[in-house]
Amino acid sequence: MCTRISDSMMLRQKGRTNMGLEEKIGETAIDLVKNENVQNKMADLFGMIFPYAGIKKKAVDMYIEEIEQSDLSTEAKMISLLNAKKTLKAIKNQKNIVEIAKDNAKEGTNFSEKSGVNEEWFDRFMESASFVSSEEMQLVWGKILANEFEQPGSTPRNMTRILSEFTQDYAKVFRILCSMQVLLVSLNEDEKIVQANWRNVIAFDQNEEYMRKIGVSFKLLNELETLGVIKFDTVAGYATTNMMEKKVLVYVNGNIIETNLRGDDNFPIGNVLFTSAGEALRKITETHMLEGYEDSVRKYLKLNHVTVEEESLYNVVLIGDRIHINKKNQ
């Protein structure tokens, strides 16, 4: 049996400094690009991000040299250099994030003013990006920016605020949550596939010991909910509805958990759901295999009125976005 998997989860600088510092740095960079005879080409390809992508280290060094050779007093030079240090760090952060966006965007992505990306959103995003110096977090910002240029208007409006508060600790826990994923495959009486969907099964309430072991605490889940990337419900939990058949194969970490729904068509999926912002972040997050996750899913399903077979009769093979099911020893 073979079918295609639906709902696939194929994983301006703030303020003003003295002497118009930002404008001078930008102008110096653009002058250099002019001298290298590539400005027009760069501006055409990367119109909106060009001021950030075009800045060269040589331009920065030239501006610092201008300050040092100026007629300013010693005190004024010191203040100018201190302000320059802050501004140059911010510009470096912005440049790194833009470069990541360029490297991660699909081939042919339009970065010009005609891309459809809202200029006001872009300015706010880049202003906040100036404070992001961690390489790990710059990667997240860069991928989000790439996605926005690929699909203008797709980034949730609260994403910039969320990213500004998204610490490395939050990113670590969020990656674990994204990695807690299974493929739910519904089989009819003829053992044919009628549904195949990836879902995150994140069960905290009945797996607290395991969750703490892998670094996910009640406190951190509450904070991620407050941040706006997940919904967290330890009372009723969540379920995926409208399962079309009672027999559901749960593909997790390369193995199969064979289950049968006892009552209605709802399949329990734990205590956590991703918000729209969380879903956007999930799509750019690299997942990894979690030791013990299969056992935690098996335990959770048994405690939530799902019949779990001790051993599955089926094999599952994934090739791209297609799934093949066959019985063992056949």
For the chain, 330 residues long, give each residue's pLDDT as a single digit of tens.
Answer: 656 665 444 333 333 334 444 444 444 444 544 444 444 444 444 456 655 655 555 666 776 777 777 877 878 777 777 777 788 888 889 989 999 999 999 999 988 888 899 999 999 999 999 999 999 999 999 999 999 999 999 999 999 999 999 999 999 999 999 999 999 999 888 888 888 899 999 999 889 999 999 999 999 999 999 999 999 998 889 999 878 788 999 999 989 999 998 877 889 999 999 999 999 999 999 999 999 999 999 999 999 989 999 888 888 888 877 888 888 775
Instruction: Identify the H or E element spanning 239.
Output: strand 238-240
Both 255 and 310 in a single domain?
yes
Both 196 and 285 in a single domain?
yes
Both 153 and 282 in a single domain?
no
Both 141 and 282 in a single domain?
no
Residue that terminates a domain, selected from 123, 141, 164: 164
115: containing domain: 18-164
Both 207 and 103 in a single domain?
no
Q: Is 119 within the bounds of a domain?
A: yes
Both 203 and 252 in a single domain?
yes
| pLDDT reported for residue 79 | 76
Q: Is 12 within the bounds of a domain?
A: no
Both 292 and 206 in a single domain?
yes
Contact 299, 206 (CB under 8 A): yes
Q: Is 59 within the bounds of a domain?
A: yes
Q: Is 24 within the bounds of a domain?
A: yes
The amino acid at residue 80 is S
Both 269 and 220 in a single domain?
yes
Q: Is 202 within the bounds of a domain?
A: yes
| pLDDT reported for residue 49 | 65
Residue that terminates a domain, selected from 141, 164, 187: 164
| pLDDT reported for residue 319 | 83
What total number of domains does the chain contain?
Answer: 2
- C-alpha 115 chain-centroid distance: 21
SS3 of 287, please? coil
| pLDDT reported for residue 14 | 36
Cα–Cα distance measured from residue 267 to residue 50, given in angstroms and rounded to the nearest whole number = 49
Cα three-residue angle 287-108-116, rounded to 5 degrees: 90
